[in-house]
């Protein structure tokens, strides 16, 4: 049984999850720290210690079951499939009650009533969602707010964190943000963002619930009873008041489970195929332009490092170390969000620039290696014929170095094609992001995953083939030696 | 044509050239011989500024080279279009055809029109006996053929002086003859040449003068009849004695 608990497998006995929890004395719940304050976050004084109103609720709930609560870190958009797979006992992290989720897992009675709140820039001419037709509206991926936006004629812009939607609203990259009132009050209409106002009037009401597997009715019942008891004896109110979240909505009546808005794809149809093709288009476009930027940057850096004076050498070295030694994700964040107050780039421009600057550092090393691999005699022969340094580089060294560099360059391009999936953090919906959205909508990874893989291959294989031909052409004079 | 005055060069503490002085007049062919490590290559490289020297002066084809200055860009360019060099290892550009190897420098250094450069390349290929190989890549040629292309490439800049550093040492014996024939032909045509070589018959039959270089200096300098047949210095006696064996 210890093994069973460790690998988190599901037992056929419906009573056993609750029995197992009691036996091991621990109730595990899946949640995502990225949700941050006030839900669940690390104590800044002691990061091993968690804070947040959901942590308090879980502790109280576990106590009422006679056990201890333990958080398991999972990406928020994967909480439901991970619960179904059996990675933890319950899912508890701002999980909204929706008809869609009710089909997949058992939803508890609510522990919180939220309101979808629309935030806009101060003075903007928008008063309701209807005023925003055709405009870019930010929200979190796969939330109820996302579904509401999908049912409207607006362009949803998807984020993974709570800060970024409002940062982009301030930067005028979006016209509004639709999110839970908790998030809106904490990250949106706050004194440090005087430009942002939260509009009165709830766009929709909804509830946060705890998810259990459909095979665990006993556990679901125990949790429902515990929540009801917490509500009855005032512990829930105390916890919510402590987090400054108590309001008139919490006393009921509770809103109905939101009916299926009918906006989520249910099969991989022509519409989906079109969206995937569009995602692949972004992937290819961003990768190609980023590489076109990376190649000249790499050449300049390589020439500076191999032939430059001390200053140029040093500067090029710093560039390479900086861009190669830090995560490209961080560079994208800095470029898109960090520099925004001074230099506000569009998401696609920032994606191309970020990947191009980053890959420039890698290309620099490829070309440097190739240049260092050139025999000295080539330079001497060119010099002796009167060619200047740049002429020698351009007519003699670069063409030969290119031939050496081509295989690693092809490699880098294919790798860039895949790394371009990182630009979804700056709201570009490229191929991989499209796949993850479809996987949640279709409730399965298989078909979207296959489609995504096939499209990546369809992009990379012709490119490697092209590179292979180019290589053959360039290397006419260098047949491989027989061994 | 060439005037070398009290040339000195050291690599760190090791003196490589010590007080070398020499004069070469137009149309001469100088065979440079001597034991390994004597400084033959270094002297040649100083003459077209592939190496710098520490003291002394070189005047070559009207260009004056001074110590340590790699020379201003313009001086260097002038020098190198007037002084050609042929290397032991050919150093052809492997990514270019024979014709492109020959026309590259005239086109980009002297802005010769491509058609004019190509015509000249074909003349030169004809002269070195490779008229039909203009579109071959270097790897498709034998060593002897490659060296002849390298000579044609140097000639394409219409140099006044040609420097050869052991042009036949990397070749099989049966290919040396074809390269020697080209050098002999150039000598007959009045080209001024300095040839570092171990080929006895170049020293005896083609050269107008022979220099024996040892430990950074010119140990002996004179016509072949004198230097090869009746050497005065011990190093020359040893050197030619060894070669005759
Ligand atoms: N880059 C260098 N650093 C230090 N010493 C060097 C360097 N290049 C040449 N030398 C030294 O200078 C001396 C002359 O070398 P050079 O190549 O001119 O001789 P050489 O007469 O051409 O010999 P060989 O017949 O073997 O080609 C040698 O002792 C050599 O070790
Ligand atoms: Mg030598």
Other C-beta atoms lying within 10 Å of the C-beta of residue A103: 10
Q: Does residue B6 carry a pLDDT above 90?
A: yes
Contacts of B33 (CB under 8 A, 6+ apart): B40, B196, B197, B198, B203, B210, B211, B212, B213, B239
Q: Does residue B79 carry a pLDDT above 80?
A: yes
**Is B80 in Cβ contact with A384 (below 8 Å)?**
yes
Residue A281: CA count within 13 A, CB half-sphere: 6
pLDDT score of A257:
79
A366 shares a domain with A286: yes
Domains: count for chain A? 3
Helices and strands, counts by H and E, chain A: 19, 13
Whole-model pTM? 0.79
Q: Is residue A467 part of a domain?
A: yes
Q: Is residue A264 part of a domain?
A: no
What percent of chain A stands above pLDDT 90? 64
pLDDT score of A402:
87
A82 shares a domain with A6: yes
A214 shares a domain with A88: yes
Nearest ligand to residue B15 Cα: 1
A426 shares a domain with A357: yes
Q: What is the mean pLDDT of residues B89-108?
A: 95
pLDDT score of A477:
60
Task: Give me chain B's average pLDDT, please.
Answer: 92
Chosen from B61, B107, B108 to mutate, greatest number of chain A CBs within 10 A: B108
**Contact (Cβ atoms closer than 8 angstroms) between residue A366 and residue A298:** yes
Q: What is the mean pLDDT of residues B118-145?
A: 94
Q: Which of A176, A206, A236 represents a domain boundary (last residue)?
A: A206
A133 shares a domain with A8: no
A282 shares a domain with A403: yes
Q: Is residue A121 part of a domain?
A: yes
What CATH number corresponds to the domain at position A179? 3.40.190.10
Q: Does residue B96 carry a pLDDT above 60?
A: yes
- Torsions phi, psi for A137 (to 5 deg): -125, 125
Backbone dihedral region for residue B39 (phi beyond 0: left; psi -120 to 50: alpha; all else: beta): left
A230 shares a domain with A191: no
pLDDT score of A28:
95
Q: Does residue B76 carry a pLDDT above 90?
A: no
pLDDT tens, residue by residue, A35-77: 788 899 998 898 889 999 999 999 999 999 999 999 999 988 8
A425 shares a domain with A346: yes
Q: Which residues line ligand 1 (CB under 6 A)?
A: B 11, 14, 16, 36-42
* Residues at Cβ < 5 Å from ligand 2 ion: B 41
Q: Is residue A306 part of a domain?
A: yes
Report the residue among B31, B42, B198 best suited for mutation to probe ligand 1: largest number of ligand atoms under 8 A from its CB: B42
Q: Which of A250, A279, A310 represents a domain boundary (last residue)?
A: A250
pLDDT score of B194:
96
A145 shares a domain with A82: no
Contacts of A274 (CB under 8 A, 6+ apart): none
pLDDT score of A1:
39
Contacts of B167 (CB under 8 A, 6+ apart): B86, B87, B88, B147, B151, B179, B183, B195, B197
pLDDT tens, residue by residue, B180-197: 999 999 999 999 999 999
A129 shares a domain with A241: no
Whole-complex ipTM? 0.94
Of the candidates A416, A398, A403, A376, the one whose C-alpha atom is nearest the C-alpha of residue A300 is A398
pLDDT score of A160:
84
Greatest alpha-carbon span in chain A? 95
What CATH number corresponds to the domain at position A362? 1.10.3720.10
Cα of B1 to ligand 1 centre, how many Å? 26
Q: Is residue A257 part of a domain?
A: no
- Chain length of chain A: 483
Provide the residue range defining the domain that includes A241: 2-111+209-250
Which residues of chain A are under the pLDDT cut of 70? 1-15, 258-261, 476-483
A410 shares a domain with A307: yes
Question: Beta strand pairing status for A106-107 and A211-212?
Answer: antiparallel
Q: Is residue A260 part of a domain?
A: no
Q: Which of A171, A206, A241 represents a domain boundary (last residue)?
A: A206
A121 shares a domain with A159: yes
pLDDT score of A335:
93
Q: Is residue A274 part of a domain?
A: yes
Question: Beta strand pairing status for B209-214 and B29-33?
Answer: parallel
Q: Is residue A88 part of a domain?
A: yes
């Amino acid at each position: 049984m210890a093994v069973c608990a460790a690998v988190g497998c599901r037992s056929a006995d419906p009573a056993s999850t609750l029995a197992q929890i009691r036996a091991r004395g621990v109730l595990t719940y899946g949640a995502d720290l990225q949700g941050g304050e006030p839900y669940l976050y690390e104590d800044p004084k002691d990061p091993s210690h968690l804070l947040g109103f959901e942590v308090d609720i879980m502790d109280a709930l576990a106590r009422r079951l006679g056990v201890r609560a333990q958080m398991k870190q999972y990406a928020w958009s994967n909480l439901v499939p991970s619960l179904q797979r059996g990675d933890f006992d319950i899912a508890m992290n701002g999980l909204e009650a929706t008809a869609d989720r009710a089909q997949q897992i058992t939803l508890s009675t609510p522990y919180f009533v939220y309101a979808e709140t629309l935030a806009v820039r101060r003075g903007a001419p928008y008063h309701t969602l209807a005023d925003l037709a055709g405009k870019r509206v930010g929200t979190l991926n796969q939330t109820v707010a996302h579904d509401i936006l999908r049912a409207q004629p607006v362009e949803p812009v998807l984020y993974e964190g709570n800060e970024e939607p409002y940062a982009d609203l301030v930067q005028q990259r979006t016209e509004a943000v639709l999110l839970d009132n908790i998030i809106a009050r904490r990250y949106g209409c706050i004194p440090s963002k005087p430009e942002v106002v939260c509009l009165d009037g709830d766009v929709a009401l909804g509830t946060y619930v705890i998810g259990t597997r459909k095979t665990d009715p006993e556990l679901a019942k125990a949790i429902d009873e515990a929540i009801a008891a917490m509500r009855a004896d005032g512990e829930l109110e105390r916890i919510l008041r402590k987090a400054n979240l108590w309001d008139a909505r919490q006393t009921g009546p509770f809103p109905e489970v939101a009916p299926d808005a009918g906006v989520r794809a249910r099969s991989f149809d022509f519409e989906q195929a079109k969206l995937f093709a569009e995602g692949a288009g972004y992937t290819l476009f961003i990768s190609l332009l980023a590489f076109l930027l990376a190649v000249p940057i790499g050449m300049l850096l390589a020439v500076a490092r191999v032939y430059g004076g001390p200053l140029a050498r040093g500067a090029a070295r710093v560039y390479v170390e900086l861009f190669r030694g830090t995560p490209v994700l961080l560079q994208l964040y800095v470029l898109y969000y960090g520099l925004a107050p001074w230099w506000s780039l569009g998401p696609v421009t920032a994606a191309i620039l970020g990947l191009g600057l980053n890959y420039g550092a890698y290309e620099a090393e490829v070309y440097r290696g190739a240049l260092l691999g050139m025999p000295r005699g080539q330079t001497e022969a060119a010099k002796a014929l009167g060619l200047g340094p740049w002429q020698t580089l351009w007519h003699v060294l670069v063409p030969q170095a290119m031939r050496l560099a081509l295989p690693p360059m092809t490699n880098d391009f294919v790798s860039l094609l895949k790394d371009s999936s990182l630009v979804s953090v700056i709201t570009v919906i490229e191929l991989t992001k499209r796949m993850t959205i479809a996987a949640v909508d279709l409730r399965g990874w298989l078909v979207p995953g296959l489609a995504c893989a096939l499209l990546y291959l369809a992009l990379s294989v012709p490119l490697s083939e092209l590179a292979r031909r180019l290589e053959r052409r360039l290397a006419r004079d260098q047949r491989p030696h027989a061994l | 044509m060439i005037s070398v005055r009290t040339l000195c060069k050291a690599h760190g503490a090791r003196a490589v050239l010590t007080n070398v002085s020499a004069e070469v007049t137009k149309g001469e062919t100088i065979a440079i011989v001597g034991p390994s490590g004597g400084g033959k290559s270094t002297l040649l490289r100083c003459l077209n500024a592939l190496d710098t020297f520490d003291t002394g002066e070189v005047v070559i084809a009207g260009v004056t080279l001074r110590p340590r200055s790699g020379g201003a860009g313009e001086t260097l360019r002038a020098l190198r279009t007037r002084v050609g060099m042929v290397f032991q290892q050919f150093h052809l550009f492997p990514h270019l055809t024979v014709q492109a190897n020959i026309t590259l420098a005239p086109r980009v250094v002297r802005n010769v029109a491509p058609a004019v450069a190509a015509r000249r390349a074909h003349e030169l290929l004809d002269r070195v006996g490779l008229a039909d190989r203009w579109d071959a890549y270097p790897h498709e040629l034998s060593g002897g053929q490659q060296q002849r292309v390298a000579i044609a490439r140097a000639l394409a800049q219409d140099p006044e002086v040609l420097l050869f550093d052991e042009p036949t040492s990397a070749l099989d014996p049966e290919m040396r003859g074809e390269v020697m024939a080209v050098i002999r032909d150039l000598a007959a045509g009045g080209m001024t040449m300095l040839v570092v070589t171990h080929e006895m018959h170049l020293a005896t039959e083609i050269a107008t003068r022979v220099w024996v270089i040892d430990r950074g200096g010119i140990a002996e300098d004179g016509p072949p009849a004198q230097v090869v047949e009746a050497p005065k210095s011990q190093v020359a006696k040893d050197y030619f004695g060894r070669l005759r064996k």
